[in-house]
């Protein structure tokens, strides 16, 4: 397959943003109680892994409708700059997230110098966005945006998960699931190598999350607690649905 040009990828992602804006929470699996628990858990993990505190500057790449932006601010006291390529999704974020510590910027995160925002972020976070991007360019841009010692934290789909592998590699399933045509998923050793190549230190990639968004609401709470046991089982944990990915900008 011929590699996509940067312009082609952006065209596809903008079109996907228009599609998602019709009912983003549905397509992202956030409407169910299980989906909400997945969001809540990621917020906790981002806060812990980046040690987010009041006064810190955080960049959220692919902020979409702001579903992560609001709790990131409320639970950490940090200021968040949300970047997204979709004007339709950002319109929802600007409507729903009115906290003065939130700033939303329309543009391409892989060309951050064009966005007119100061760099030196204490942390860059993103949820299920990196797999939509040209990974090498995106990681290089994130590295430039961080201050020395700053932390990158993200959650991404795990290619070792059977459902994810089918969904990302069979075009008709990908379309049925509401995915964009260019998105993929990661093997944990693959994405770890890419972070190191981009200059990140203290890289860690951990499989997690067996809770599926379609779990019935009445079973979501107990299901979440029970399924976390599988994350501690060698071998089994490798097929979890997601990867928690972290890296630190090297301090000279």
* β-bridge pairing 57-61 and 79-84: parallel
Run of H or E residues at 168: helix 162-169
The set of residues, in sequence order, having a beta carbon less than 8 Å from that of 3 and lying 6+ positions away, is: none
* pLDDT at residue 23, rounded to an integer: 65
CB count in 10 Å sphere of residue 173: 13
Catalogue all structural domains in the chain, each as residue range(s) with its CATH number: 6-249 (3.40.50.150)
Average pLDDT, the chain: 91
pLDDT-derived band at 1 (thresholds 50, 70, 90) equals: very low
Rounded mean pLDDT of 142-160?
97
Rounded Cα–Cα distance for residues 215 and 208 (Å): 17
Q: Is the pLDDT of residue 29 over 80?
A: no
E strand map for 35-179: 57-61, 79-84, 102-106, 121-127, 146-157
Look at the pTM and tell me if it is higher than 0.85. Answer: yes
Query: Over 170-200, what HEC string results?
Result: CHHHHHHCCCCCCCCCECHHHHHHHHHHCCE
- Among the ranges 24-28, 31-35, 214-218, which has the highest mean pLDDT value? 214-218
| pLDDT for the residue numbered 180 | 79
For residue 12, pLDDT beyond 90? no
pLDDT of residue 25: 66
pLDDT at 124: 98
Does position 6 have pLDDT exceeding 80, yes or no? no
SS3 105: strand
**Residues with Cβ < 8 Å from 169, sequence gap 6 or more?**
none
Span 56-85, pLDDT tens digits: 999 999 999 999 999 999 999 999 999 999
pLDDT digits (tens, 9 = 90+) for 189-231: 999 999 999 999 999 999 999 999 999 999 999 999 999 999 9
Sheet holding 57-61, edge to edge: 102-106, 79-84, 57-61, 121-127, 146-157, 242-249, 200-208
Tokens at 81, concatenated: 């700059």
Contacts of 96 (CB under 8 A, 6+ apart): 65, 66, 70
């Amino acid at each position: 397959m011929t590699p996509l040009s940067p312009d082609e990828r952006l065209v596809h992602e903008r079109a996907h943003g228009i599609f998602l804006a019709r009912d983003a929470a549905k397509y992202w699996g956030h409407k169910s109680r299980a989906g909400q628990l997945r969001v809540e858990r990621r917020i906790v993990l981002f806060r812990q892994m980046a040690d987010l505190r009041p006064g810190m500057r955080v960049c959220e790449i692919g902020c979409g409708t702001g579903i992560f932006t609001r709790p990131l601010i409320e639970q950490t006291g940090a200021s968040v700059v949300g970047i997204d390529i979709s004007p339709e999704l950002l319109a929802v974020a600007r409507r729903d997230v009115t906290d003065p510590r939130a700033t939303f910027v329309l543009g391409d995160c892989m060309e951050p110098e064009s966005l007119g925002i100061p760099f030196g972020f204490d942390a860059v976070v993103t949820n299920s966005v990196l797999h939509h991007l040209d990974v090498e360019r995106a990681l290089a841009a994130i590295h430039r945006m961080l201050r020395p010692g700053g932390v990158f934290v993200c959650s991404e789909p795990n290619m070792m998960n059977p459902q994810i592998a089918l969904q990302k590699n069979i075009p008709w399933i990908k379309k049925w699931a509401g995915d964009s045509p260019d998105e993929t998923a990661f093997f944990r050793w693959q994405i770890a190598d890419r972070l190191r190549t981009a200059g990140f230190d203290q890289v860690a990639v951990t499989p997690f999350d067996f809770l599926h968004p379609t779990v019935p609401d009445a079973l979501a709470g107990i299901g979440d607690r029970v399924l976390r046991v599988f994350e501690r089982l060698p071998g089994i944990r490798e097929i979890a649905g997601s990867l928690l990915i972290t890296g630190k900008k090297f301090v000279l």
